């Protein structure tokens, strides 16, 4: 069970996936084998529109319908316990902060080149109108033969944003500073996410979901 201070409501989880704009589609075939594809997406209501290369055998597993999951993961990284405000005699483990959303639903291949062509074209227009306008009809016709269009009907959305919301403000400042000091793109992005997340700390230093133990015991 996700602690309440890390849980994302459905609206926030949906907005995160839409903003991320790409996720990992996971389906299981009749033999229990997993098939995964990382795909750019467009979200329309309770339906996700996407396409994949015809050479990717994943679409054959999906066929006219297959229960599937999509995963969306944001910046993540190590958070040092050295930045926690703990009593001198207490200790606590370091942790990992992240944002992760999973979408459960029903994937389906939409037959025919028209849908695949439009799915690819809509995706291009969504991200860069100028580039999309340069696509010729001949190119679109040829490309649509090499891709397969899919829809994903959303049933359930679950999300967790574990961004040190349970830490005191001065602890969060130290966590953010340490991440930014590393000067890596991933840690910088994670620091930005932590800074944007509201603090939900108790008035006293938080010592973890499990009671911290005295050093030396």
Binned at pLDDT 50, 70 and 90, residue 90 comes out as: confident
Confidence label for 1 from pLDDT (cuts 50, 70 and 90): confident
For the chain, give the percent of residues with pLDDT over 70.
Answer: 92
- The pLDDT of 201-209, averaged and rounded, is 56
Task: Tell me the average pLDDT of the chain.
Answer: 91
Q: What is the pTM of this model?
A: 0.86
| Residue 145 Ramachandran class (φ > 0 left, ψ -120 to 50 alpha, else beta) | alpha
- Residue 168: both structure tokens together: 């005191």
Average pLDDT over residues 77-96: 86
| Whether residue 195 has pLDDT greater than 50 | yes
Are 197 and 163 contacting, i.e. CB atoms less than 8 angstroms apart? yes
CA dist., res. 137 & res. 59, Å (int): 25
Cα 15 from Cα 107, distance rounded (Å): 20
pLDDT value at position 204?
Answer: 56
């Amino acid at each position: 069970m996700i602690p309440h201070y890390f849980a994302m409501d459905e609206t926030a989880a949906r907005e995160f996936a839409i903003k991320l704009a790409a996720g990992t589609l996971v389906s299981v075939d009749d033999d229990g084998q997993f098939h995964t594809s990382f795909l750019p997406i467009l979200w329309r209501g309770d339906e996700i529109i996407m396409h994949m290369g015809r050479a990717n055998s994943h679409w054959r597993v999906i066929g006219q319908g297959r229960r599937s999951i999509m995963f969306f993961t944001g910046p993540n990284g190590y958070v040092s316990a050295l930045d926690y405000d703990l009593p001198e005699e207490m200790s606590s483990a370091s942790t990992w902060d992240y944002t992760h959303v999973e979408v459960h639903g029903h994937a389906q291949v939409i037959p025919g080149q028209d849908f695949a062509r439009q799915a690819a074209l809509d995706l291009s227009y969504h991200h860069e109108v100028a580039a999309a306008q340069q696509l010729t009809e001949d190119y679109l016709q040829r490309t649509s033969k090499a891709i397969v269009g899919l829809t994903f009907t959303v049933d359930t959305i679950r999300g967790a944003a574990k961004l040190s919301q349970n830490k005191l403000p001065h602890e969060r400042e130290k966590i953010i500073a340490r991440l930014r000091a590393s000067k890596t793109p991933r840690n910088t992005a994670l620091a930005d996410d932590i800074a944007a997340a509201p603090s939900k700390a108790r008035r006293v230093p938080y010592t973890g979901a499990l009671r911290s133990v005295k050093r030396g015991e």
